[in-house]
Amino acid sequence: MKEIHIKAAAKINWSLEITGRREDGYHLLRSLMQQVSLYDSLDLKLAEEDRCFCSALVDQENLAFRAWLALKRQLSLEECLEIHIRKQIPIGAGLAGGSADAAAVLMGANQLLSLGLSSEDLCLLGLSLGADIPFCLRGGACLVEGIGELLQDLAKIPSYWLVLANPGFSVGTPQVFREYDRVGSRQKVDIPAVVDCLEMGQRELLPSLWGNQLYEAACNLYPSLSRIPEFFLSLGLQPLMSGSGGSFFALCEGQAQAEAAAAELRRHVHWAAAVQTLN
């Protein structure tokens, strides 16, 4: 095999709670992460030198390329890879697009070069590059703890249709976490109840239980974010911010409602799409 094609799926957070802070500044969290049907696509092929091309403005040193260079260094590999990334996932959007691409490169290189690395090996290396990478390697739906390395599969969650919206500018994750340290959050989050509701398909109860404790911090730094929920609410949909922002999502009754909502939201926000959860 000389070339491999991989899809890298975005994620949303059904909830995000901050539970502490490590000495190195990283935050301990408890979150429900879920992959959705919005993908970047990547091609990896053996080449004369290491190069990375990306359809969007992500420089040569993007996370996916750094993941390959870290793997190569760690295993003292001699091969070189050319990586092509076609982005569909908005950048700096709280959807783990960069982490998903990096996870895809680690899995793709493992397969392409027959490296025989276990998922634990990949997770350890992934975690050293970004806190969301272990989840992106695992996929599906997980309860995520630690800074992102403790994963518990939530296999019983059925498939849902969602509408996603993004304001069209990047949100700085480190800045949002720093602002959280300053302002905290008043959002109440009941993660076990959110899991129960998701597993039982009780969509209508979720908005009273879910929450994202980075919401206030993100809105403080990017005040225009606080307008996005209004657009969802005007459609009768209850939104939640994903990750450190600035994407929001809402649950829909099915594909038709999600697509109609995406079309409507596009009149107000830069980008919107109907997506389905992946299990």
**Residues of the shown chain interacting with ligand C5P in the complex, contacts defined by CB under 6 A:** 25-27, 29, 130-132, 147-148, 173-174, 177
Contact yes or no for 212/18 (Cβ under 8 A): no
201 burial via Cβ count (<10 Å: 0-12, 13-18, 19+): exposed
| Cβ-based nearer residue to ligand C5P, 173 or 187 | 173
Q: At which residue do the structure tokens 């996870």 appear? A: 103
Catalytic residue selected from 40, 87, 101, 132? 132
Catalytic status, residue 11: yes
CB of 26 to ligand C5P, least distance (A): 4
| Cβ-based nearer residue to ligand C5P, 197 or 216 | 216
CB of 21 to ligand C5P, least distance (A): 8
What tokens appear for 163 in the block?
Answer: 């509408």
CB of 67 to ligand C5P, least distance (A): 12
CA dihedral defined by 198, 130, 50, 169, rounded to 10 degrees?
70
| Cβ-based nearer residue to ligand C5P, 22 or 156 | 22
1 burial via Cβ count (<10 Å: 0-12, 13-18, 19+): exposed
Instruction: Give the residue from 152, 228, 187 showing the smallest Cα distance to 15.
Output: 187
DSSP conformational letter for 83 = E
Catalytic status, residue 72: no
| Cβ-based nearer residue to ligand C5P, 92 or 140 | 92
CA distance 171 to 73: 30
CB of 18 to ligand C5P, least distance (A): 8
Contact yes or no for 246/218 (Cβ under 8 A): yes
Catalytic residue selected from 2, 7, 11, 87? 11
Which residues are designated catalytic? 11, 132
